[in-house]
Amino acid sequence: MPQNAPLLIAQITDMHMRPPGLKAYNVVDTEAMLRAAVASVLEQPRLPDLVLATGDLTDKGLIEEYELLRDVLKPFPMPVYLIPGNHDRRETMRQTFAADGYLPKDGEYLHYTIEDWPLRMIGLDTVVPGKGHGEMDAPRLAWLKARLDEQPGRPTLVFMHHPPFPTGLQHMDSINCRNGDALGKLLSGYSNIERVICGHHHRSINMRWAGTISSVAPSVAHQVHLDLNPHDDATFTMEPPGYHLHLWQEGVGIINHTVQVGRFDGPYPFAADAIAAKRAAEMH
């Protein structure tokens, strides 16, 4: 890839895959919804160069869920990189996707870097087994600092499951990434962090944080109900699913686009006479 060529990254998240024939929460056909999301990515006028999947890949961390996930992702011709979320199990995930070569073969955490593009990418494992929240504790922060110190001048994107910043969704914020202040302090010491991208909250969210831009992608399945009042209950809706496209170009940075999965009328030209002619043709 030319050094100054724009890089297009698709971010999919929170697939919550169940075994074949089972629905998540007895409502959500997560297999069908992920297949639709994959098809939507492949229908983009410009194909992404790579796909980042930011956690909650499965709902229970079962081997059959990961095997189905692998099958559903198979149509992607571009590299796909996975990180775990709180619904995932590290060893089962490692076992299923070890052949892809980017996951660490040993060690507790599934951290890694992607070095093949002009934009460097660092995947973080924030999982606390058995808990809904995530964490960036001292060992994980030390690992990240060592990676950042390797190439402090290279544009870098950090991707993780749990947001380390508040979003106003009280229930989800109660299970976000703990020790976020320490992570923010670490990242703010580097001027090359282009963006921090997350999943977990099942909504499209953007904010300025730790001297950079941070974002959460919507789920390719169900969405968390948008309620910015104080509340402790966890509910979801069947709003249109979606994903993010991140367009990075040297000297410009990252531009974020939200894509909704589905079939929609258009595209239509904006010229009124052209629209009228098109409608007239469709009627005959």
- Backbone dihedral region for residue 107 (phi beyond 0: left; psi -120 to 50: alpha; all else: beta): left
* CA 17/CA 252 separation, integer angstroms: 36
Residue 21 lies in a domain: yes
Residue 268: what pLDDT? 81
> Smallest Cα–Cα separation from 221: which of 20, 27, 9?
27
CATH, residue 241:
3.60.21.10
Residue 143 lies in a domain: yes
pLDDT digits (tens, 9 = 90+) for 46-78: 999 999 999 999 999 999 999 999 999 999 999
Q: Does pTM top 0.85 for this prediction?
A: yes
The values of phi and psi at residue 255, to 5°, are -110, 130
Residue 171 lies in a domain: yes
Given a contact cutoff of 8 angstroms between Cβ atoms, the answer to whether 97 and 66 are in contact is: yes
Answer whether residue 274 shows pLDDT above 80. Answer: no
Q: How far is CA 29 from CA 20, 72, 116, 118, in A?
A: 10, 13, 35, 37
Given a contact cutoff of 8 angstroms between Cβ atoms, the answer to whether 1 and 14 are in contact is: no
Answer whether residue 279 shows pLDDT above 90. Answer: no
Residue 2 lies in a domain: no
Could you tell me the residue range of the domain that residue 23 belongs to? 7-282
pLDDT digits (tens, 9 = 90+) for 156-202: 999 999 999 999 999 999 999 999 999 999 999 999 999 999 999 99
Residue 17 lies in a domain: yes
Answer whether residue 2 shows pLDDT above 60. Answer: no
Which residue blocks in 25-137 are alpha helix, DSSP H?
A: 30-42, 63-73, 90-97
What 3-state DSSP class applies to 9? strand
What 3-state DSSP class applies to 181? helix
Residue 1 lies in a domain: no
pLDDT digits (tens, 9 = 90+) for 256-265: 999 999 989 8
* CA 171/CA 206 separation, integer angstroms: 18
- Domains identified in the chain, total number: 1
Residue 219 lies in a domain: yes
